[in-house]
Amino acid sequence: MMNDGFDQAGKEQDEPLLVEIRCLVPPTDEQKERIRAFFEERYGKDDVRIQVIRDSSVKEGFNIFAGDDNYDWTALGRLRQLRRYIQQRPQGRDSKEIISLLRENIQKFELDAGYQKVGRVLTVGGGIAVIEGLQESAYGSIVLFECGIKGMVQDIRKDGSTGIILFGDASEIKAGSRVVQTGRKAGIPISNRLLGRMIDPLGAPLDGKGPIQAKTYYPIEWPAPGIIDRKSVGRPLETGILAIDSMFPIGRGQRELIIGDRQTGKTSIAVDAILNQKGKNVVCVYVAISQKAGSVAKVVHTLEKHGAMDYTIIVSSPASDPAAMQYIAPYAGCAVAEYFMTHGRDTLIVYDDLSKHAVAYRTISLLLERAPGREAYPGDVFYLHSRLLERSAQLSDELGGGSMTALPIVETQAGDVSAYIPTNIISITDGQIFLDRDQFYAGQRPAVNVGLSVSRVGSAAQTPMMKNAVGTLRLELAQYREMQVFAQFGSDLDEQTEKQLKYGAGLMQLLRQPNQRPYEMWEQIVLLYAAREKMFMNVPEKKIPEVREEFLSWFREHHQHCALSLQESKRFTEELRERTIRDAWEFFEKEEAFGKRI
């Protein structure tokens, strides 16, 4: 040993058992003998060699390693032990007794404090570390490397090694590095202070607004509510988009897929749905998975511009993040929404998008040397999304009556909805909104394909007034699309067919809706009644969007009481319907309303 009480860290030892003591102040000779006696008895060794290494990170006490075992007898280790004791202490312990126990614990020399197994890194690369020595690790548990980087157990192998996905830069992790269990499942700190913030999947702030100081640690993986814990979806969650709320209604607790090719307006629909929740006591969570930083910044700017960030939380894992961070991002966002749901709040969560999430999981699985299946995805890729989306629910009144509505987004290639990931997610969700590329390029926004879109909740998530106002709208649009195909052949059409084509074209124009302009419920009902009564028939097709906005402004100004009745009405009455139609005709019967515009 050196004169200062420390040994050289790199000196190899050939003795049967090497005990490594890491500390700032070296142990006394008496402490060394007690440590030696402890390990001789614990491991049945006659020859124990003690090596003392200076470690400035150990502020007080000793951090002792013996093979794959770690005995954390530092000040922090003793505090952890005392915390566990306090949490499990019998009722009646007062603060004075706790302080007395703390002093006794600090003064008492107990090597058993903080005992834990230690693993060692075999290989590292590609955001994956393979370790040995932590055979008792559970799937999804968090481990800590000696350089401070965290990882999550993702693969438990027959040979005793364990595959770890890394949450950080792996350049500081080398073969032979130590890794210890934290005793915690993967989770995220949550509190009401998250509202209006942007965080990463580990809960760290990304918006530069300072620490969040969330104290509740919520696991990102949690079993979905059972049948007894749920109740039927029956309350509407309005998106403010006429084409969706009228034909494909979404209920609170539903999972509605938004699917379509790249750049067809999928994110715009989700953002408009978030904007429409203003003032409705709904917490919104937007999860950006492998998105460009500029795209996420654009979404944040839109939400801030319309005052929607006050009730919204952004969970972002951009394309520059490791695959492991992108993999846990939707589960972290789901945990945030689930926290509010279990506290009786209604929540809306957007996953943008799950096709990139599946790619991140495929990357992880291939690096872990799992057997690839169809399109190189692992065999459990269906379970990857089912355990995520099944957590969306309408909880029973006994559990607070909260809800989580999910809007997962999936990108298709050339409109192929029969691809592997889209078909998997379609089978999990309660319907899909399919955005057609040809309609989008033709100027139809949102480009909702009426034939391929569906809501399996249906009219159960609509108000009675909306049910009556919709009528046979979807059937009329389907007939129009069919007639439109035959009209392309250029044959002569009878007068009735021409009227139906004109009416259908007017409906398509009426359903065109600019971004960031969600409609209130009364506005949608008034427009639907006006369409069913063919009030827009005398309006030129290209003028319909302009006349529509003027019509709504006029109705708001002259028939505010009727609009309020439509918005707040809990039941349908024939009197209110007739009154709405009569008030709407007032606008269209005035020739001066169109004389200067047509």
Write the DSSP string, 520-572. Answer: PHHHHHHHHHHHHTTTTTTS-GGGHHHHHHHHHHHHHHH-HHHHHHHHH-SS-
**Region label for 126, one of left (φ > 0), alpha (ψ between -120 and 50) or beta (otherwise):** left
Question: Which tens digits make up the pLDDT trace of 74-102?
Answer: 766 665 555 555 554 544 555 566 566 55
- 249-262 pLDDT tens trace: 999 999 999 999 99
Q: What is the pLDDT of residue 478?
A: 85
> For 420-450, how does the pLDDT look when each residue is reduced to its tens digit (9 = 90+)?
999 999 999 999 999 999 999 988 999 999 8
Residue 139 counted as domain residue: yes
- pLDDT score recorded for residue 2: 47
Looking at the structure, tell me whether residues 343 and 438 fall in a common domain: yes
540 inside domain: yes
Given 82, 107, 132, the domain boundary residue is 107
Position 10 confidence tier, pLDDT thresholds 50, 70, 90: very low
Residue 1 lies in a domain: no
**Lowest-confidence segment of 35-44, 306-315, 447-456 by average pLDDT:** 35-44
Q: Does residue 288 sit in the same domain as residue 432?
A: yes
Distance CA 42, CA 91 (A): 34
CATH code: domain of residue 545: 1.20.150.20
- Decide if 456 is catalytic: yes
Same domain, 502 and 454: no
**How many domains does the chain contain in total?**
4
Question: In CATH, what number is assigned to the domain containing residue 175?
Answer: 2.40.30.20
pLDDT value, residue 576:
92
pLDDT digits (tens, 9 = 90+) for 177-189: 888 888 788 889 9
Cα(first)–Cα(last) distance of the chain, in Å?
Answer: 99
Give the pLDDT mean for 206-228: 89
Same domain, 359 and 487: no
The answer to the question of residue 202 being in a domain is no
Report yes or no on 229 lying in a domain: yes
Torsion angle defined by CA atoms of residues 502, 507, 510 and 512, in that order, rounded to the nearest 10 degrees? -110
User: Which is nearest to 535 in space by CA: 585, 578, 496?
Assistant: 585
Clarify whether residues 417 and 490 are in a common domain.
no
- Please give the residue that has the higher pLDDT: either 70 or 284: 284
pLDDT of residue 75: 64
Q: Is residue 580 part of a domain?
A: yes
- Give pLDDT, residue 408: 97
Does the pLDDT value for residue 3 go beyond 70? Answer: no
Domain shared by 131 and 53, yes or no: no
Per residue in 319-375, pLDDT tens?
999 999 999 999 999 999 999 999 999 999 999 989 999 999 999 999 999 999 999
CATH code of 276's domain? 3.40.50.300
Please give the pLDDT value at position 359. 96
Among 23-32, 121-130, 428-437, 442-451, the range scoring the smallest mean pLDDT is 23-32
- For residue 237, pLDDT over 50 is answered with yes
pLDDT of residue 178: 86
* pLDDT over threshold 90, residue 383: yes
Of 50, 77, 107, the domain-final residue: 107
Residues 67 and 121 in one domain: no
Average pLDDT of the chain to the nearest whole number: 86
pLDDT digits (tens, 9 = 90+) for 451-499: 899 999 878 888 888 999 998 888 888 888 888 877 776 667 777 888 8
243 and 386 together in one domain: yes
Q: Which residue has the tokens 């890729």?
A: 381
Residue 313 has a pLDDT of 97
Which residue among the candidates 178, 184, 456, 577 is catalytic per the annotation? 456
Same domain, 266 and 349: yes
The verdict on 398 and 477 lying in the same domain is no
Residue-number span of the structural domain to which 87 is assigned? 17-107
pLDDT above 70 for 1: no
Q: Is residue 384 part of a domain?
A: yes
CA distance 500 to 490: 16
Are 396 and 308 contained in the same domain? yes
Contacts of 102 (CB under 8 A, 6+ apart): 82
The whole-number pLDDT of residue 110 equals 47
Question: Is the pLDDT assigned to residue 31 strictly greater than 50?
Answer: yes
464 preceded by a cis bond (ω within 30 of 0): no
340 dihedral zone (left: phi>0; alpha: psi -120 to 50; beta): alpha
Instruction: State whether the Cα torsion 294-298-303-304 is positive or negative.
Output: positive
Question: Based on the domain organization, do 270 and 359 belong to the same domain?
Answer: yes
Query: How many residues appear in the chain?
Result: 598
- Of the candidates 460, 492, 524, which is a domain's last residue? 460
Is 338 inside a domain boundary?
A: yes
pLDDT at 596: 46
Q: Give the pTM.
A: 0.82
Mutual angle of helices 560-568 and 574-588, in 10-degree steps: 140
Q: Which residue has the higher pLDDT, 230 or 49?
A: 230
